[in-house]
Amino acid sequence: AALVAVPALILSVLAQWRRTPSSSFYPFSRLLAWITWVSIFVSMVDIAIWSSQNGGYEAASAEIAKRFQPLLQEMFADGPQLPPSVGFDDIASVFAHAIPFVSTALQVMFFSGCLWIAARVAQASGQLARPFPEISAETALPRDVLVILALAVGLLGGGMLVDSTSLALASGMIIIGIVAAYALQGLAVIHFTSRKVPLRGVLLTLIYFGILFLSLWPLAIAAGIGFVDAFHPLRRGFPAAEDLKL
């Protein structure tokens, strides 16, 4: 519980923090970066606890894979068959080893969503100290996040080179956390640039439906848009919300 409550408290304080009553609030872009770092940290602590309780990361992953195999066998019992070179244990192992990375991405989405809900509740009750940000226009990670991403990619390569599971795992979680944050930036770009597109609501519904129920490809595309926006702002030249007749 503390792994959720304490980070949520820190983020909520940052969201309404400013040095003096006359100074500006904490920048929204920096807040998104903090959401990313907090999510990565929480995920790392979760995985560390999970690993320590199950005899190490590899042993914990093997146990999860063992439990997952019967589900896979049931899924493929009456459906398409696996290639002869691929076994159920191979697929189960891949899923088990993907847990830290999926967990990190979900944490980024979870804390972002919780902060948004909390801000809306505070706004409705008149307790929100700062103006509610125009999320589709202001969601943009600071440029120094790209430097950290590059360092994490280098560490991932180093971890694989020296066969260090811990280093590769930690750097991989950092990479996935940052990619998830850029996916949020990409979704913000889509929201902002589609304001005058006919049937915009249908388009956004299909995008989120695809993310939730079909596959991660829409989220990967959103992350790509976020990366492009980091180097070449895609929202430049589009009218602000107050200039649109909605």
DSSP code string of the chain = -HHHHHHHHHHHHHHT--SSTTSPPPPHHHHHHHHHHHHHHHHHHHHHHHHHTTTSHHHHHHHHHHHHHHHHHHHTSSSPPPPTT--HHHHHHHHHHHHHHHHHHHHHHHHHHHHHHHHHHHHHTT---SPPP-HHHH----THHHHHHHHHHHHHHHHHHTT-HHHHHHHHHHHHHHHHHHHHHHHHHHHHHTTTSTTHHHHHHHHHHIIIII-SHHHHHHHHHHHHHHHS-TTTTSPPGGGS--
Under the banding of pLDDT at 50, 70 and 90, the label for residue 133 is confident
pLDDT tens for each residue of 17-35: 887 777 788 888 889 999 9
- Work out the pLDDT band at 245, boundaries 50, 70, 90: very low
pLDDT band of 238, cuts 50, 70, 90: low
Does position 96 have pLDDT exceeding 80, yes or no? yes
Q: Residue 141 has what pLDDT?
A: 93
Percent of the chain, pLDDT > 90?
Answer: 35
Q: Given a cut of 50, is residue 55 above it in pLDDT? A: yes
